[in-house]
Structure 1
Amino acid sequence: MVCTSQIHASGQTSETAIQKRFIESRANPTSSSANISPEGLEIERQRLVTEGMSASVIDTMLAARKTSTNKTYDRVWKVFLPWLQQKDITIENLSVIHILDFLQAGFEKSLSLRTLKLQVSAISALTETQWAKDPKIIKFLTGVMHLRPPNRALSAVWDLRLVLEALTSKPFEPLEETSDMFLTLKIVFLTALVSARRVSDLQALSAVPPFTIIQQDKVIMRAVTEYLPKVVKTFHLNQETVLPSFFSDYTSEQEKRWHTLDMVRMVTVYLKRTKTWRKSDRLFVIPNGNRRGQAASVPTISRWIVNCIRLAYQNQGEQFPKGVRAHSTRALSTSWAFQAQVSADQICKTASWSSARTFLRHYRVDVQTKPQKEFGKRVLEAVCGNSNA
């Protein structure tokens, strides 16, 4: 048995040019706990051993955090543990003063408030101490917020109308004739848009019954059984993702054009197209290269979403804006729904938010800037008009 005082925080252990340019998939290894370095987890394990826990109990307790969370914490530990070694500090002798010095070093390297809070959480997990509740830590983070206040875009960075217009024409249509890559880009983007889900949720969607059910007016989808959402609570577990039909009974050329955004049509064609070379039950699979047919990773899906927006701008002859991220589809999707007077409760349920506060504080953006523009224009016209009188 090894005492925690003997564990030193060393941190050391023995189709076309367009396609190639914008949308080529890179090989991404699948998520695995094997990629997590053992130092932090071993310190946790040894601490539980000293408390008399059995090996099986410890394994269960260490499974309380998701693998993705462990990976995030691991990145902090890889910085924090060598820092402690340099200061000749052991885990057992760690104090709030030491943690504040570590956070200050990060703040002076321009780390954001969010990153510093994440570091506190990772250190708390490592030491089994709720440092985030310490008055000195709270005061320090409040000071960081005042000195470096977080900011977010209040207006949409990219034009959703422009992208949807582009998706109704070449190279994305006719759907039966477009390449596997363009088909993939379109369905991934539209699924992200109409579901308002995180990319990790999209990556976990299953392509097989009973997790995917195609009906005349909608597609009902669920994640594979082993998937754990970002927030592992009853509200978030086993939620259905519903993708709607759109102008399936069109009566005009305009409605026929918008029908190309019909998700029932999209999913049906996509599953039929990928059936012969699909190697995974996950909905979204890589359409080309050595890993063709394998499940797409979260980074790959994120890249597809951004590349779809980029390609839409290119095809419309517009300059691609800076700062476009895959996650922005959640903000635009829910903001347009709010603009269309969808209830806050329905928005939160669809996007898997437990309260409207999350949407209003972090995701809502102005998708209709014309009224503000007209207001400013009227002010100028009124002043200039009076000056000429």
Structure 2
Amino acid sequence: MIPEDTIEVMISSLSVNTIKQYSVALNKWWIFCKGENIFDVSITKILEFLTEQFKTGSSYTSLNTTRSALSLILSCEIGIDPQIKRFFKGIFKLRPSRPKYNDTWDPAIVLNHIEKWYPLQDLSFLKLTKKLVMLLALTSAQRIQTLSLIRLNNIQFVEAGVNIEISDLLKTSKPGKQQMCITLPYFLAKPEICPVTTLQYYINYTKTLRKVEFNNTEMLLISVKKPYNYASRQTISRWIKQTMKDSGIDIKRFTPHSTRHAATSRACREGVTLDTIFRSAGWSIGSKVFANHYNRPLIKSNDKYIFAKTVCNIESH
């Protein structure tokens, strides 16, 4: 029996969202076992449970999550068991997982819209915030989680632009993997959509707000109303969704997370190398899913700012 303290340490390796997903799956497992020992079961019993979930309409992805949840409490050998592997190959054939989007929207639609939000000093705090968030989302192709974790003391302005280190653990963080660093350039020829200029103005604008309130949060993005707490992922997502809608994007089809898909797809179509796209977006260099999905003729560039420039259609010099 594993000690309770040890179990708590092991569980801390999971994200909050993963724990929520696993809890749903394990609750179904508990009901399926009908009070019997849920820890000492055969592969046959597990296959019976997974089959029952399949018949109720569970997708390949959902069943895979269930398998991971069971592996957590039963045995890590479940994932490599020949019968389990064969079962999931069958599920993939019968009910293959499909990409969320068959197509995506062009970042130019949103960029053309927020380009009109200029000069910056004429914008309301809400509009300034929405503009910054959207520019960061598109030019970095980062998840909303990453944007919510940007800290003021990790922002370093350099001659060519800005370097933003992410010190907090991310969804993709793992031992031995270097932490994310967002690098963005100045768009001197296009200040209306320059992410660095907008970022500088936002930081200066919020200095007073941070001092007036006692929070003095170290997080970059703060709420637009008192007491100006740090902005949650839900709040940032809402800002992006509102900006997409105002720009004419169909928000019934596309979620705020689609900024990541839109930006990387645009960069790929314009010939940015896959390695550059993976590095900018935080994917592993050997990501076969993206390579198979967006296989296009590529051109090479040594410009570390090429991703952001390409998404915003800025000429490289």
* Fold agreement, TM-score > 0.5: yes
State the match for 1:241 in structure 2: 182
State the distance in 2 between where 1:310 and 1:300 align. Answer: 15
**Partner letter of residue 66 of structure 2?**
Q
Query: What is the CA distance between 1:156 and its match in structure 2?
Result: 3.2
Task: Tell whether the 8 Å contact from 2:47 to 2:84 is kept in structure 1 after alignment.
Answer: yes
State the distance in 1 between where 2:103 and 2:119 align. Answer: 29
State the distance in 2 between where 1:365 and 1:303 align. Answer: 32
State the match for 1:187 in structure 2: 132
**Partner letter of residue 183 of structure 1?**
L
Query: What is the CA distance between 1:213 and its match in structure 2?
Result: 0.9
**Partner letter of residue 81 of structure 2?**
D
1:360 to 288, 291, 296: 291
2:278 to 348, 355, 365: 348
State the match for 2:194 in structure 1: 262
1:310 to 224, 245, 259: 245
State the distance in 2 between where 1:80 and 1:349 align. Answer: 39
Number of residue pairs matched?
290
**Partner letter of residue 83 of structure 2?**
K
**Partner letter of residue 198 of structure 2?**
M
Secondary structure of 2:76's aligned partner: coil
**TM alignment of 1:1-389, pairs within 5 A:** 47-49=1-3, 55=5, 59-84=8-33, 87-152=34-99, 155-169=102-116, 172-207=117-152, 209=153, 211-223=154-166, 225=167, 227-233=168-174, 236-246=177-187, 248=188, 250=189, 258-278=190-210, 279=215, 280-288=217-225, 292-313=227-248, 320=250, 322-354=252-284, 355-361=286-292, 364=294
State the distance in 1 between where 2:7 and 2:233 align. Answer: 29
Cα–Cα, structure 1 residues 114 and 212, in superposed 2: closer, same or farther, change >3 Å?
Answer: same
State the distance in 1 between where 2:228 and 2:295 align. Answer: 36
Query: What is the CA distance between 1:263 and its match in structure 2?
Result: 1.1
Task: Tell whether the 8 Å contact from 1:219 to 1:263 is kept in structure 2 after alignment.
Answer: no
State the distance in 2 between where 1:61 and 1:74 align. Answer: 15
Task: Tell whether the 8 Å contact from 1:216 to 1:264 is kept in structure 2 after alignment.
Answer: no
**Partner letter of residue 147 of structure 2?**
L
State the distance in 2 between where 1:162 and 1:66 align. Answer: 34
Task: Tell whether the 8 Å contact from 1:198 to 1:330 is kept in structure 2 after alignment.
Answer: yes
State the distance in 2 between where 1:124 and 1:337 align. Answer: 38
TM-score, length-scaled by structure 1? 0.68
Task: Tell whether the 8 Å contact from 1:229 to 1:236 is kept in structure 2 after alignment.
Answer: no
Query: What is the CA distance between 1:58 and its match in structure 2?
Result: 5.0
State the distance in 2 between where 1:304 and 1:160 align. Answer: 16
Query: What is the CA distance between 1:155 and its match in structure 2?
Result: 4.9
Which structure 1 segments of 5+ residues have no match? Answer: 1-46, 251-257, 314-318, 367-389
Task: Say what the alpha-carbon RMSD is for the aligned residues.
Answer: 2.5
Percent sequence identity over aligned pairs: 28
State the match for 2:301 in structure 1: none
State the distance in 2 between where 1:348 and 1:71 align. Answer: 28
State the distance in 1 between where 2:8 and 2:100 align. Answer: 42
Task: Tell whether the 8 Å contact from 1:203 to 1:298 is kept in structure 2 after alignment.
Answer: yes
State the match for 1:29 in structure 2: none
TM-score, length-scaled by structure 2? 0.82
**Partner letter of residue 335 of structure 1?**
S
Secondary structure of 1:232's aligned partner: coil
Cα–Cα, structure 1 residues 198 and 103, in superposed 2: closer, same or farther, change >3 Å?
Answer: same
State the distance in 2 between where 1:265 and 1:217 align. Answer: 11
Cα–Cα, structure 1 residues 75 and 92, in superposed 2: closer, same or farther, change >3 Å?
Answer: closer
State the distance in 1 between where 2:100 and 2:71 align. Answer: 31
